[in-house]
A = this chain, B = another copy of it.
Amino acid sequence: MALELTFIPALVVILVTAALGRLLSKGLRQPAIFGELLLGMILGNLIILAGSAQAPIFDIAGIGILLLLFLTGLGLNFEEFKRLEVASSIVAITGVILPLVLGYFVTIYFGFSHIVALFVGVALVATSIGVGASILAEQRMLRTRLGTLIMGAAVIDDVIGVVMMSALMGVVATGAVPLKETFLLVSLAILFFIVSLTVGIRLFKKLSEKLTLGRENLLMLGLIMALVFGLATQGIGLAAIIGAFVAGVILGQSHYARRLREHVSLIGGSFFIPIFFVATGMSFNVGAFASIGLFAVVLVAVAIIGKVVGCGLGAKASKFSGRESFAVGIAMIPRAGVELVLLKLGLDYGIIGADIASAILVMVLVTTLVTPPALWNALKMVKSKKRFNNNAGVLVGGKRHG
């Protein structure tokens, strides 16, 4: 017996769920989103949103994920980001290749066709950036070298994921890789990043020197920027969250940065972002677990191992410590955004059946739910090692940074 709710009651229930989720997380010493996701999942099986409430709630949740990425961009350490360009690319690429290859061969091994195997491989590529960003922010590690590496790699791997998805869908539709379209997508994406991160940054830095804005107007400008850039990347064919992230990076280099970060974290953290995580939890179909087969279990394992080992090796090769590399791998585990789009396309085009679809859904579910506590602990390990080293440094007369 599920209770049907209209908009405002649904909103109240979701906000209360988020508040309870935070309390639960605090009690269990887990990151806030763990409780929000978990209670959201339970809530999703207790209530049904009325037709008229569904669209607004998910629209607000959509603004939530845009604001989360905008905030992450605002908080990015851009100088470090540029220094870590190569390392981020290495981590992204190693973290793409391993899951792709593993996913492909596992699916072939289970007796599926070449094209289904390719589909599953691509479905393991793109990291869902929101979970990692949220936990890095909560641990105040967004601006560290490690946090910067993770965010850079996640953005690059999302772009690779979208490009692969487009190419795959072209193959399905025409039987050949759509070279022209793929080339266009990649070119537009590169053009967007270059223009944004050069002209865009300079423009808004100048603007912020000349134009002083009151807090309401400043926040309004920020929100408009996040939405407009989200629309722009969506228009190109990339995810809207990439645009919101870039908008954040641009404004993050202006004189507005500090105040804007404070304001966006308030408006996002108290309303939009918790609604996003609870709504995400609600959209998980627990029924998918019931139909779980051996393939789903193997797929989850491949998804986790692929990123932890793939990205971990990439980070290690870029001279990050063992613990740090492990944390990078963990942070890249969650899949959701690109995968869910791909899932829908796969079903629409008849490439995959309900079996593969529910296995992918379980993979999305498990990777999203296991990451918060795992990353939380991995980051604490990194911190405690640092503190230990620093203390040791003091003992032997070295410099203390801690």
Contacts and interface: CB of A to CB of B under 8 A. Distances in A.
Contact of A271 (B52, B55, B215, B223): B223
Interface stretch (A262-270, A319-327, A333-341, A360-368): A262-270
Given A19-B217, A55-B56, 20 more contacts: A7-B59, A8-B62, A8-B227, A8-B231, A11-B227, A12-B227, A12-B231, A15-B224, A18-B220, A19-B220, A55-B55, A56-B59, A216-B266, A219-B271, A223-B270, A263-B266, A263-B270, A267-B267, A267-B270, A267-B271
Interface of A: 7-9, 11-12, 15-16, 18-19, 22, 52, 55-56, 59-60, 62-63, 215-221, 223-224, 227-228, 230-231, 240, 263, 265-267, 269-271, 274
7 contacts: A12-B227, A12-B228, A15-B227, A55-B56, A216-B265, A220-B274, A267-B270
A19 B224 contact: yes
Contact of A266 (B7, B60, B63, B219): B219
A210 B299 CA distance: 49
A287 B221 CA distance: 33
A332 to B, nearest CB: 27
A16 B227 CA distance: 11
A230 to B, nearest CB: 7
B219 A270 contact: yes
Contacts of A60: 56, 60
A72 to B, nearest CB: 16
Contacts of A22: 217
A270 B217 contact: yes
A7 B19 CA distance: 27
Contacts of A52: 55
Contacts of A63: 11
Contacts of A218: 270
Contacts of A8: 62, 227, 230-231, 240
